[in-house]
Amino acid sequence: MVQTTSVWGALSLVLHLTNLQSFVLAAEIKSRQTAATQVVKLASTENLAVRSNGQILATNMNSANLYSVDPVAKTSTTAISVTGATGLSGIGEVSPDVFAVIGGKGIYKVDFTGSSPKSTLIKQITEASNLNGLAVLNNDTVLVADAGKGSVFRFTISTGAYSVALSDPTMAPTGGIPFGIDGIKYKDGVVWYTNIFKNSFHKIPVDETGKATGAVTTLWTNLMGDDLCFGPNGKIYIATNGGNSVVEVDPAVGKPTSIATVTGSTSCGFGRTEKDKDVIYVGAGQGIYAVTVKL
């Protein structure tokens, strides 16, 4: 969820009024700070994905433009304008250089395998409230977080078929802004997700269809989390938005370590070339930043 003036005025109130009495977990936040450097200025970056050629794709909830960022040249261009969308949020690579992108209530396919990128609306999830986070389950299925309803849709890329796969009170919106589950990622039979205004981070085991096979585990309830990504070292990295940082989490331990200060951090993704495989790129309200991580 990207930072805006109006949202953050309401956010301050929400954070004071949010009822967290049902949660008891509080993470001890350690610090191992590394300097963050700005790659490009790019207003209101919402989410990002890194292509195999090293280019970074960035979305903006107020624009249909999918931006391409060259982290070496430190330049940004519009890769493609997604026809039919008024804004873009979650993005994930479903097959080599083919991406699923959320645009409003629609799920789009953006294909970079040809001579020029092409975007196609797969289908609208008409009953959705506020689609935001996206996780790749397999090369034909994505999990899409509905922050407004507090649930997760399973969506098939090839057919457009969809249904609710997950729904839990930990995903529900709270307070004055109807926004709950935000960041979501899948790996090795587990879905990891944040609830931005409950300041919480959770995981749930799932089967190959995305359906739960066990109970939700809450890792913490005292640190804001937006989108997240996995590093090549198997650790999880979370952009903390109003926490103005990026934290590292060992999945086996579940405790956060702050590794960099990035104001209004919203999203992240690791470099995919030999030169930047230890660099995490961070989307934020003022652009894309780079942080070198000790792997």
> Alpha-carbon distance 184 to 206, whole Å?
13
Q: What is d(CA 110, CA 67) in angstroms, rounded to the nearest whole number?
A: 12
Q: Which of 271, 266, 264 is nearest to 244 (CA)?
A: 264
Q: Are 260 and 33 in contact (CB under 8 A)?
A: yes
- Tokens representing 277 are 């495989």
Whole-number Å distance between alpha carbons of 290 and 134:
22
In angstroms, the CA 213 to CA 204 distance is: 8
Across 69-84, average pLDDT: 98
Say yes or no to pLDDT of 39 above 70.
Answer: yes
Better-predicted residue by pLDDT, 3 or 12: 3
Name the residue with higher pLDDT: 51 or 16: 51
Q: What is the pLDDT of residue 128?
A: 98
Nearest to 198 by CA among 217, 216, 214, 182: 182
Residue 282 or 29, more confident: 282
Q: Using the 8-state DSSP alphabet, how is residue 169 labeled?
A: G
Are 149 and 92 a contacting pair, CB within 8 Å?
no
Model pTM? 0.91
pLDDT at residue 197 in the model: 95
On average, the pLDDT of the chain sits at 92
What average pLDDT does the segment 47-65 reach? Answer: 98
pLDDT at residue 23 above 60?
no
Q: How many CA atoms lie within 13 A of 170 on its CB side?
A: 21
Q: Which amino acid is at 212?
A: A
Residue 295's pLDDT band, with cuts at 50, 70 and 90, is confident
* pLDDT band with cut points at 50, 70 and 90 for residue 2: low
Confidence class of residue 263 from pLDDT cuts 50, 70 and 90? very high
Q: Please give the Cα distance from 181 to 200 (Å, whole number).
A: 9
Q: Which domains does the chain have, with CATH numbers?
A: 5-292 (2.120.10.30)
Average pLDDT rounded to a whole number, residues 179-188: 98
pLDDT higher than threshold 90 for residue 171: yes
- When comparing pLDDT for 13 and 227, which is higher? 227
User: In angstroms, rounded to a whole number, what is the distance separating the alpha carbons of residues 287 and 295?
Assistant: 24
pLDDT digits (tens, 9 = 90+) for 227-250: 999 999 999 999 999 999 999 999
pLDDT at residue 29, as a whole number: 85
Could you report the per-residue pLDDT of 119-131, keeping only the tens digit for each?
999 999 999 999 9
The gap from C-alpha 4 to its chain's centroid, in whole angstroms, comes to 17
CB atoms under 10 Å from CB of 86, counted, come to: 12
pLDDT in tens, 81-102: 999 999 999 999 999 999 999 9
pLDDT for the residue numbered 34: 87
- Asked if the model's pLDDT at residue 15 lies above 50, the reply is no
Using the predicted structure, report yes or no on whether residue 33 has a pLDDT greater than 90.
no
Q: Taking 80 as the threshold, does the pLDDT of residue 294 lie above it?
A: yes
